[in-house]
Each structure stands twice: as structure tokens, then as C-alpha cells.
């Protein structure tokens, strides 16, 4: 059996014989969501099958995007787009097919010329069409909308700040 996180869909193999009789809470390492293991057990790592679409009164069936894979339609590709504004007001656009990107002033995928930014400051991860920002133990911290965070889901309206650098993130379908 597999425990499937209800938020980010991360799957972990579970030996149900070793589970106690009481309900067990688990905090997902990827997104931080706490949930009850016994309520999220599924026979496959994909989790539960989504419910099928209801037919319209005229018999037409409308499918949600998540249902398309079950119909044999290839999944959409997503691109992670970062807009990085440096101290001098310059804006650089970075687009990635990878689901994880590191940002920092040293050995990072996106390099930022800011002395207040750690060498590998934060990680930005795309989970389907959502984005999570994780501080990687930086010296000066990571702020989202002027709030210090260690890990946070962000939207394209949120401003990520590391040192004197501002970052906006969005996911585009390509």
C-alpha cells in the first residue's frame, strides 16, 4: 500500500502490518502538509482514481484537465518561469523545464550577484501547476511577501525576497 499526500501527491510505500491500531499523523517532507496515514492509503502510488465527469443534460461529457491522462491524452508540460530583479533594477527572465531550481550567488542554477544571498540560498520546486519555495539554510533567510519562511507555496502574485533581490515565480503551460 502507498500513503499519498493529499496536497502534493507524493507517495510513500507503507507496510500496513506495521501500522498501529490508532490513527497515525504524518507530515509530508515535500510540502509540509500533516494528514492521517490510514485515511490516505491507496493500492498504487498514483493515489485514488479521480471521479469521472458527470454528463451534461444533453448527454455531452466535459472532462477536467486531470481526466485527460485517463483518456489517453498526453499530459501537459509545464515550465517554471523566474523573473529576477537585481539591486540595480535589472530584470532577468529564466525559464526551466526541470521541476527543481536552486537560486544563489555561487553554485546554483540561477546565479544572483547579491552579497547578501548565500551560495545556494533557496530551492524553487514545481509540483504540477503549483510552486513551493524552500530556504536551504541561508544566512539571511528567505522572505515571501515580507514574511520570513522556511518553505511556502507561492503564487505569481507573491514576491520572494533574498537579500536585496526580488523574485517572482509562475508556472506556464508549454
Is pLDDT above 80 for 11?
A: no
Q: What pLDDT, in 10s, does the model give residues 93-146?
A: 999 888 899 999 999 999 999 999 999 999 998 876 678 999 999 999 999 999
Measured in whole angstroms, the distance separating CA 31 from the mean position of its chain's CA atoms is: 7
Q: What pLDDT, in 10s, does the model give residues 148-174?
A: 999 988 988 899 999 999 999 988 776
Q: What pLDDT, in 10s, does the model give residues 26-50?
A: 787 777 788 777 777 777 666 555 5
Q: Is 83 exposed, middle or buried (CB count within 10 Å of its CB: 0-12, 13-18, 19+)? A: middle
The verdict on pTM exceeding 0.85 is no
The CA distances from residue 10 to 98, 99, 111, 124, in Å, are: 17, 14, 29, 17
- Strand, helix or coil at 53? coil
- Strand, helix or coil at 66? helix
Cβ-contact 67, 154 below 8 angstroms = no
For residues 8 and 170, give the distance between their C-alpha atoms in angstroms, rounded to a whole number: 17
Better-scored residue on pLDDT, 115 or 19: 115
Q: Is 92 left (phi over 0), alpha (psi -120 to 50) or beta?
A: beta
Amino acid at each position: 500500500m502507498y500513503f499519498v499526500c493529499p496536497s502534493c501527491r507524493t507517495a510513500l510505500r507503507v507496510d500496513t502490518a506495521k501500522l498501529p491500531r490508532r490513527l497515525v499523523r504524518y507530515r509530508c517532507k515535500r510540502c509540509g502538509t500533516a494528514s492521517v496515514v490510514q485515511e490516505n492509503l491507496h493500492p498504487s502510488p498514483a493515489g485514488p482514481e479521480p471521479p469521472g465527469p458527470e454528463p451534461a443534460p444533453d448527454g455531452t461529457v466535459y472532462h477536467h484537465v486531470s481526466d485527460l491522462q485517463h483518456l489517453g491524452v498526453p499530459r501537459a508540460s509545464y515550465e517554471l518561469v523566474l523573473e529576477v530583479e537585481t539591486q540595480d533594477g535589472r530584470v532577468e527572465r529564466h525559464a526551466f523545464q526541470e521541476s527543481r531550481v536552486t537560486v544563489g550567488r555561487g553554485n546554483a542554477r540561477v546565479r544572483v550577484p547579491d552579497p547578501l544571498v548565500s551560495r545556494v540560498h533557496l530551492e524553487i520546486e514545481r509540483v504540477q501547476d503549483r510552486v513551493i519555495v524552500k530556504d536551504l539554510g541561508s544566512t539571511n533567510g528567505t522572505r515571501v511577501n515580507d514574511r520570513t519562511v522556511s518553505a511556502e507555496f507561492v503564487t505569481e502574485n507573491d514576491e520572494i525576497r533574498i537579500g536585496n533581490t526580488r523574485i517572482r515565480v509562475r508556472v506556464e503551460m508549454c
